[in-house]
Structure 1
Amino acid sequence: MDTWNIIREALPYLSQGLYMTIVISIISNVIALFIGLAAGFMRMSKNSVLRFIAASYVNVIRGTPLLIQILFIYFAIPSVFDMKLSAFTAGIIAISLNIGAYMTEIFRGGIQSIDKGQMEAGRSLGFSYGRTMALIILPQAVRRMIPAFVNQFTHAIKDTSMLSVIGVAELTMEGQSIYAMNFRAFEILTVVGVFYFILIYAVSFMSTRLERRFSVS
């Protein structure tokens, strides 16, 4: 069978895997944004307990491989608590927690990069701390954080490939299943690599447009 026929027959299955990769990446990043925002404020809190919890979370996640985190959530935690997690759910949780740790530092750094006078100005106008943060500080900080957000999104896309170890039918897993049957790894992995490249390039392109749109410096 020639190369083009192999690729043509594989495309429907690889497209399904690509769709799963996109879905997992989007869901994980949305959850990670909320985790990062909450943990970021905890890291900046005056409460030492909250700071300790957030710092411990960030250090543990950043100090251990994502693969171990995936296996721990899928195999270890269910065995201890006598529960069952689907591979999809475990994958979402693992990638969300992993990206969330990096988002925590992005939020903390972005917020702290805004001049403290902005907060003082908001408070002098009678705004509460929360309202000043929501209306004045965060909008400015988010504009500066856009490149870092996109960088983490591209990491999430690539990280989904590790979910193949627990059987999630994302792009890499679909590719492995196909070349395990037809023994044409070169052609299949080339297409898988091209799919990843196109997806990540598209995200990077949109990031550049957003930076120009919002004049991110």
Structure 2
Amino acid sequence: MNYDIDFFYVLKGIDQLLDGLIVTVQLTLTSVVFGVIGGFLVCLMAMSQSRLIRLPTMAFIEVFRCTPALIQIVWIFYCVPMLFNLFLDPFVMGVLALSLNLIAFNAEAYRAAIQAIPKAHLDASIALGLTPLQTNLYVILPQAIRLGMPVLVTNAISIFQQSALVAIVAIEDLMYMGKLLSTETYRPIETFTFVALMYFAIALPVMLLSSRLEKRYKTANS
């Protein structure tokens, strides 16, 4: 079988792919914001002394960490409207599904980071008379973000990649537009190769920046 690789028609539809990329980036950035904030709050709840708070929170974390993201997306899109009579914009539903997944993984990243914070810092906050809220905001959160940054960035890149799954529920992201273009041009190899390169071109610089920041932090503290 002879197949000639030809990117002409794919490049001709680049505007279509860029429109999808914009949606993908919007989905990712919104989910990352909710994931960073919500992950910290869920982490604090999972470390609570109250079993009524801790156990349901731990169950939430394990459910979203131990089930496929694809099933989570499909369940939220189709089951939530039927069970709760709640109908939201598809983009909002996509953000909800991706954010819940990211919150669960970030909560574990924060937990490991918080456990690495020297106990002397917490003792100092008590000695200074800081309230629990002030301690969480001004002592724990900044250090947890800094210590957990490599994992948080990795999780963000992962959710950027997993955002491609929302194409299955017809959100017009990069993957969805790639599927349309491959159907229109009959060039699936070229189309999905180009789509993969677009994902790679965004994910790689973010990963390299994260590695550089991590090395700088280790150097500053060595």
* Superposition TM-score, scaled by structure 1 size: 0.93
Is contact 1:57-1:101 (8 Å) kept?
yes
Q: How does 1:50-65 map to 2 (within 5 A)?
A: 50-65=53-68
Distance 1:36 1:93 in 2: 13
Runs (5+) with no aligned partner, structure 2: none
Distance 2:137 2:110 in 1: 13
1:163 to 166, 170, 184: 166
- Helix, strand or coil at the partner of 1:83: coil
1:128 to 106, 127, 131: 131
Distance 2:42 2:145 in 1: 16
Q: How does 1:53-202 map to 2 (within 5 A)?
A: 53-202=56-205
Distance 1:80 1:128 in 2: 41
Q: Identity, % of aligned pairs?
A: 29
Deviates more, 1:84-93 or 1:48-57: 84-93
The equivalent residue for 1:43 is 46
Q: Deviations over 1:69-126 (max 9, x none)?
A: 1111111110122232232111110000001000111111111111222111221122
Do the aligned partners of residues 137 and 81 (structure 1) sit closer, same or farther apart at CA in structure 2, a change above 3 Å counting?
closer
Structure 1 residue 2: deviation in Å? 8.1
**Aligned partner letter, 2:117:** I
Runs (5+) with no aligned partner, structure 1: none
**Aligned partner letter, 1:111:** I
Is contact 1:119-1:133 (8 Å) kept?
no
Q: Deviations over 1:152-181 (max 9, x none)?
A: 110011101100110011111111001111
Q: How does 1:12-23 map to 2 (within 5 A)?
A: 12-23=15-26
Is contact 2:10-2:181 (8 Å) kept?
no
* Superposition TM-score, scaled by structure 2 size: 0.91
Deviates more, 1:119-128 or 1:32-41: 119-128
The equivalent residue for 2:10 is 7
Any runs of at least 4 consecutive aligned residues in structure 1 with deviations exceeding 6 A, and if so which? none
Is contact 2:5-2:190 (8 Å) kept?
no
